[in-house]
Structure 1
Amino acid sequence: MQAVGAALAGAVSAPEAAAPPADPRAVRALLAEIGLLHPRAPESDVPLELCRFQARAGLTVDGIAGPRTVRALVQAAREARHIRSLGLPLAA
């Protein structure tokens, strides 16, 4: 998960107007980590699951992994890791 953090560091810390697009592989890994995307799901499933995540997180639903979405994904992944560390299942 270190690589995901490094790949997203610029998008998370940069001002929104200057933020580079998030690495699609990192976004995919985060969606998988929070249980919204099967690791072997087709690439065509990523935008749909990203929209689903955005709706659940109260973000603009546009299927784009902008800075706010990336920050929310990173936070959700941290929470998912913590929940799993407690031996609890992730909520559906």
Structure 2
Amino acid sequence: MKKLFVAAALVMGMGTTVFASNFNTANVETVVMVNDFTPIEVKDLPQAVQDAITKNYADSTIKEASVEAKEDGTKTYKVVLTDKESTESTILLNEKGEVLK
């Protein structure tokens, strides 16, 4: 949700920049949010995450995994999956194994 808010703010900021280009804009500040995902071993994924992947992505294998710890103590797991056609897809899951959007 935080990423969506930042993305919307950046898009709106760009739109107003075009509108205000005829005005004197001396101070423009850009804020960039970067996720700090740390690579982890696949075996270190929580069991709930592994079970969710096995259940919902049975035809895929885990290529790599990483984790992001948020300020409130929650963790988000980013998992890169590879299917039989070698197509990669990335999913985000919480500690309960629920897919995040």
TM category (shorter chain) comes to under 0.3
Looking at secondary structure, tell me which structure has more helix per residue. 1
Higher relative contact order (Cα pairs below 8 Å, separated by 6+ residues): 1
Question: What TM-score, normalized by structure 2, do the two folds share?
Answer: 0.22
Question: What TM-score, normalized by structure 1, do the two folds share?
Answer: 0.24
Looking at secondary structure, tell me which structure has more strand per residue. 2
